[in-house]
Amino acid sequence: MYAVELSTVTRKKTEAPVRERLSRETIADGAVALADAEGLDAVTIRRLASDQGVTPMALYWHFRDKERLIDGIVERLLADLVLPRRPETSSVPWHVQLREILDALLVVLRNHPAVAELVHTRILRSDPGLEITERTLGLLREAGFSAEQAAQLAIQALSTMVTLVASVPGKQVGEATDVQDQRLRAKRASLQALSPERYPYLLASADALTVCASEPEYIDLGLDLFIAGVRGVQPDLARK
Amino acid sequence: MYAVELSTVTRKKTEAPVRERLSRETIADGAVALADAEGLDAVTIRRLASDQGVTPMALYWHFRDKERLIDGIVERLLADLVLPRRPETSSVPWHVQLREILDALLVVLRNHPAVAELVHTRILRSDPGLEITERTLGLLREAGFSAEQAAQLAIQALSTMVTLVASVPGKQVGEATDVQDQRLRAKRASLQALSPERYPYLLASADALTVCASEPEYIDLGLDLFIAGVRGVQPDLARK
DNA sequence: ACCTGAACACCGTTCAAGT
DNA sequence: ACCTGAACACCGTTCAAGT
């Protein structure tokens, strides 16, 4: 693991001859950029510090510990969230509005898929996260769900979106293209080597299980699936 | 982080005076037990070795690296998977069978929620994993989905089950009860401190967002949701 | 207010050597 | 075949000190 990092990665310090001041924002931005480029594992305190041309301990003035730094990353990510305006008439069905809201979340997650998973446990720690949860809960209540059901569905909505972005088959951020090709080739081959008697369906879907032909299609299907699910479990009394 | 571990955890070595032989199975079992007891973060090569009364390097004779060891954990977990028999008549609708299969997966995941997330990228590396995927694909094809759609839905089915178990609100494996209480109290308080004008629905659902009143209910809702979703996106021609 | 230096207690892993 | 010892290149974090 370390060996791979050492041999394939050249540490590009982004330090200017004279460094600009550190701040929570520049650190978090650096972390997002690093994750996008080399994957989440590359995001360490020491690496972030060295990229900024600064001692690891410098970061501790801005964040209490790594956990808070990660909170900062998520906050930075969700800051870009643009929620659709609340419609003025009540003519737009709740499930259409819910889809629009979740789509807005998907947009920011897909901008930085490497850090998407971090959002999972941290939605309620930022303003935009509170906002989107509030809107989601409102729509679910409108659909007839109880406060408790709405809470459970809202949590599942958000984590489904995160999982969706993080589970696109064949994708692994920060992997060199040749390594990725090699990995996928091996995976496909191991599936195609299976017994056709025991695993006919696996063989028929081997390609699609290995790599996603169309990422947008995959994501859209996941969103369709979730919305259809919520409509399917909607309390009968409120159905509309 | 380390400070916390050091102060709250007493390293109980399970070594007998005379150690029994190591094996891939005993190591993987130890890892699962450790994760159950103290959370996934506690599972390190060095800790596992020390628990078995052995040098860290001893593990490298049994597993090429930590990645493979984790594969071993997942294999161990999925070995307990008991799939329902294939019904002999075709009178059982596909979605009922799909539910039974996913329920079987949920059973093993819920046995060891701490390692559930590891299954996500590793289903196809074990025999039982191939088996459940094959069955899932078969039912989806029967429902009228294409080989590609079936693959995408199968992946989402499995990752939804994993996420479901890993996302039960308020749960965090390997956390001392008093620490957990404190964390949840703080979370609830921060939600209840929100502005009632801006966040009326969040306030109404604050408790349910903090901690799960009923875990089985939460999981069941998630499963209902998924099945309803698949039925909702089922190609019209094949609907039955 | 913002950052550095030195130190500590951990990681995963390699390589040569022991039985 | 199975395991140990010593070493390496990393981690996050604390604490005291510098400007």
Nucleotides of chain C touched by protein CB (<7 A):
2-6, 9-16
Torsion of CA A162, A164, A170, A173, to 10 degrees: -20
Per-position DSSP letters for B197-230, written without gaps between them:
TT-HHHHHTHHHHHS-S-HHHHHHHHHHHHHHHH
Cα B120 to its chain centre, rounded Å, is 8
In this prediction, residue A99 carries a pLDDT of: 98
The predicted-structure confidence for A80-133, as pLDDT tens digits, reads as follows 999 999 999 889 999 999 999 999 999 999 999 999 999 999 999 999 999 999
Q: Assess whether pLDDT exceeds 90 at residue A71.
A: yes
Residue B154: closest CA among chain A residues belongs to which residue? A209
Residue A147: closest CA among chain B residues belongs to which residue? B205
The amino acid at A180:
Q
Q: Quote the DSSP letter at residue B10.
A: -
Which pLDDT band, with edges at 50, 70 and 90, does B2 fall under? very low
Cβ < 7 Å from strand C, A residues 51-90 = 54-55, 57-58, 60-62
At A42, give phi and psi (nearest 5°): -75, -15
Return the closest nucleotide (C1') to the Cα of A55: C4
Q: Assess whether pLDDT exceeds 90 at residue B18.
A: no
Instruction: Tokens for B168, please give them.
Output: 């039960």
Per-position DSSP letters for B19-86, written without gaps between them:
PPPP-HHHHHHHHHHHHHHH-GGG--HHHHHHHHTS-GGGHHHH-SSHHHHHHHHHHHHHTT--PPPP
Give distance CA B59 / C1' D4 (Å). Answer: 12
Cα B46 to its chain centre, rounded Å, is 24
In chain B, beta strands by DSSP E = none
In this prediction, residue A21 carries a pLDDT of: 84
The pTM of the full predicted model, rounded to 2 decimals, is 0.91
Between A124, A208, A222, which is nearest B148 by CB?
A208
Could you identify the residue whose CA is nearest to the C1' atom of nucleotide D10?
A2
Contact state of B1 with A66 under an 8 Å Cβ cutoff: yes
- Evaluate whether A126 touches A77 at the Cβ level (below 8 Å): no
- Measured at the CA of B166, the angle between CA B162 and CA B185, to 5 degrees, comes to 165
The predicted model gives A163-169 an average pLDDT of: 94
Distance CA B168, CA B211 (A): 8
Which has the minimum average pLDDT: A57-66, B85-94, B217-226, B231-240? B231-240
Q: Assess whether pLDDT exceeds 50 at residue B53.
A: yes
Instruction: Tokens for B217, please give them.
Output: 């209910």
Which has the minimum average pLDDT: A50-54, A87-91, A212-216? A87-91
Residue A135: closest CA among chain B residues belongs to which residue? B201
Q: How many residues does chain A have?
A: 240
Give distance CA A55 / C1' C7 (Å). Answer: 15
The predicted-structure confidence for B118-128, as pLDDT tens digits, reads as follows 999 999 999 99
The predicted-structure confidence for B64-94, as pLDDT tens digits, reads as follows 999 999 999 999 999 999 999 999 988 999 9
In this prediction, residue B175 carries a pLDDT of: 86
Which pLDDT band, with edges at 50, 70 and 90, does A178 fall under? confident
Distance CA B8, CA B172 (A): 16
Q: Assess whether pLDDT exceeds 70 at residue B49.
A: yes
Q: Assess whether pLDDT exceeds 70 at residue A1.
A: no
Q: Assess whether pLDDT exceeds 50 at residue B12.
A: no
Cα–Cα nearest to B123, from B165, B74, B180:
B74
Which pLDDT band, with edges at 50, 70 and 90, does A175 fall under? confident
- Evaluate whether B9 touches B85 at the Cβ level (below 8 Å): no
Distance CA B214, CA B221 (A): 11
Number of other CB atoms surrounding residue A176 within 10 Å: 12
Cα–Cα nearest to A27, from A86, A65, A72:
A72
In this prediction, residue B52 carries a pLDDT of: 96
End-to-end CA distance of chain A: 54
Q: Quote the DSSP letter at residue A21.
A: P
Which pLDDT band, with edges at 50, 70 and 90, does A10 fall under? very low
In this prediction, residue A96 carries a pLDDT of: 98
Which pLDDT band, with edges at 50, 70 and 90, does B237 fall under? confident
Distance CA A230, CA B122 (A): 28
The predicted-structure confidence for B181-224, as pLDDT tens digits, reads as follows 889 999 999 999 999 999 999 999 999 999 999 999 999 999 99
Residue-averaged pLDDT of chain A: 91
The predicted-structure confidence for B127-146, as pLDDT tens digits, reads as follows 999 999 999 999 999 999 99
Q: Assess whether pLDDT exceeds 50 at residue A48.
A: yes
Contacts of A163 in chain B (CB under 8 A): 159-160, 163
Return the closest nucleotide (C1') to the Cα of A19: C3
Distance CA B33, CA B39 (A): 9
